[in-house]
Amino acid sequence: MRWLWIDRFTEFVPRCSATAVKNVTLAEEHLHDLYPDFPVFPHSLIIEGMAQTAGILVGEAGAFREKVILAKITRATFHRLVRPGDVLEYHARIDRFSEQGASASGTVKAAGELVAEIELVFSHIDRNMAGMRFPEHNFVFSEQFTDLLRGFRTAGSVPLPESPPAGGTAAAEG
Amino acid sequence: MPMTRDEIFSKVKSVLADALGVDEEEIKPSATLSGDLGAESIDYLDIVFRIEKAFNIKIPKGELFPDPQAMQGLLKDPRYVQNNKVTAQGLEELKRLMPHLDLAAVGEDPDISKMTNLFTVNAVVNYVESKVNA
């Protein structure tokens, strides 16, 4: 299984905001784990979907040089259950960005209805964990994640971002 | 127009309540961020972001809270720390780097394990006051 909780970006404004979609299907095992005979998509994975949408946005803002780790779920408010057949739309925006990390917030919607409101803080771990050493290579932004962005940029259905990400070439440009 | 200390405290209280998930009543000026209010390392970054937004100020790295790498260097320097106690010279250096800290709070017991107690609600208010009323 691949740890990917968004299927596609539909909008990507570098250093600012992004929208990603996730199709929820009855074939996913975890839908059947919470309640017998009542499949629902777990809230924890809705947060993960937002973390991936916002985390890639934050990673791109730093040209994928930083190891961006979800460090804090500041707030997560849920308004309705997500059921099979729902198409989740994650709208994320960067609120603050610095050398040490970033904060982001956003909404999750399904068919125009508000599903959740989520606020997150990301850490650039090499900058924050003094005395700890991490592998040189960026283990956060593996091919799986950068492929998501590459797919968006080559899809052609949405105009490519005009300006390159801050600091030069992004790993996701392809 | 300069902000009064009460106005700053009230806004800082609201920021800390949101960032740390605590009730505003718990947020006394003397409360320590980690000991009394339960702040963990990432909360300090969140607090910096929220204070910047709430007061429309820019907080350079290491100014409100110490940069972890710089702090490690300071704590390893024998001029500043001996036998796990911060020396008088070390306290002077802290005061120079972060004048908003209430160093009197640790004057009697400058053990390095107590240094997190320097970061009180009052210290945050002192810092914001120095920025917004500069």
Q: Which domains does chain B have, with CATH numbers?
A: 1-60+119-134 (1.10.1200.10), 66-118 (no CATH)
Distance from CA of A59 to the nearest CA of B (A): 17
Mutate to test the interface with B, among A128, A129, A132 (most CBs of B within 10 A): A128
DSSP summary character for residue B2: P
Q: Do A130 and B72 count as a contact with CB atoms less than 8 A apart?
A: yes
Domain count for chain A, please give it: 1
A153 belongs to a structural domain:
no
Residue A1 counted as domain residue: no
Q: Which of B43, B49, B61 sits opposite A96 (nearest CB)?
A: B49
Q: What pLDDT digit, counting tens, does each position of A67-112 carry?
A: 999 999 999 999 999 999 999 999 999 999 999 999 999 999 999 9
Comparing CA positions, the residue from B49, B42, B40 lying closest to residue A69 is B42
**pLDDT for the residue A171:** 35
Asked if B63 reaches chain A (Cβ–Cβ under 8 Å), the answer is no
pLDDT at A161: 43
Q: Please indicate, yes or no, if residue A151 is contained in any of the structural domains.
A: no
Specify the pLDDT at position A129. 62
A21 occurs within a structural domain? yes
Residue A103's CATH number: 3.10.129.10
pLDDT at B10: 97
Q: Please report the DSSP string for chain A in residue order.
A: -------EEEEEETTTEEEEEEE--TT-GGGGSSSTT-----HHHHHHHHHHHHHHHHHHHTTT-S-EEEEEEEEEEE-S---TT-EEEEEEEEEEE-SSEEEEEEEEEETTEEEEEEEEEEEEHHHHSTT----SS-SSS-HHHHHHHHHHHHH-SSPPPSSPPTTS--TT--
Classify burial at A124, counting beta carbons within 10 Å of its beta carbon; exposed 0-12, middle 13-18, buried 19 or more.
Answer: buried
Across residues B111-124, what is the average pLDDT?
88
Distance CA A51, CA A54 (A): 5
Residue A167 resides in a domain: no
**Contact across the interface for B45 and A121, Cβ inside 8 Å:** yes
B56 touches chain A (CB under 8 A): no
Which pLDDT does position A160 carry in this prediction?
Answer: 41
pLDDT for A157: 42
Tens digits of residue pLDDT in B63-87: 999 887 788 788 889 999 998 888 8
Model ipTM value: 0.83
- pLDDT at position A168: 35
The answer to whether residue B6 scores a pLDDT higher than 70 is yes
When the pLDDT of each residue in chain B is averaged and rounded to a whole number, the result is 90
Is the CB of A159 inside 8 Å of chain B's CB atoms? Answer: no
Query: Which residues does chain A have with pLDDT short of 70?
Result: 129-134, 152-174
A98 domain-assigned? yes
Range of the domain at A30: 8-144
CA distance A109 to chain B (A): 24
Mean pLDDT confidence for B4-9? 96
Residue B104 and residue B102: Cα distance in Å, rounded? 5
Q: Quick check: A123 contacting B, CB < 8 Å?
A: yes
User: Does B73 touch chain A if contact means CB atoms closer than 8 Å?
Assistant: no
Whether A16 is in a domain gets the answer yes
Q: Is the pLDDT of residue B20 over 50?
A: yes
Q: Give A-chain residues touching B61 at CB under 8 angstroms.
A: 98-100
Minimum distance, in Å, between the CA of residue A16 and any CA atom of chain B? 16
Does residue A171 fall inside a structural domain? no
Distances, alpha carbon A133 to alpha carbons A102, A126, A129, B99, in Å: 21, 8, 8, 31
pTM over 0.90: no
DSSP sequence for B24-53? GGG--TT-BTTTTT---HHHHHHHHHHHHH
Residue B102 has pLDDT above 60, yes or no: yes
B38 — contact with chain A (CB < 8 Å)? no
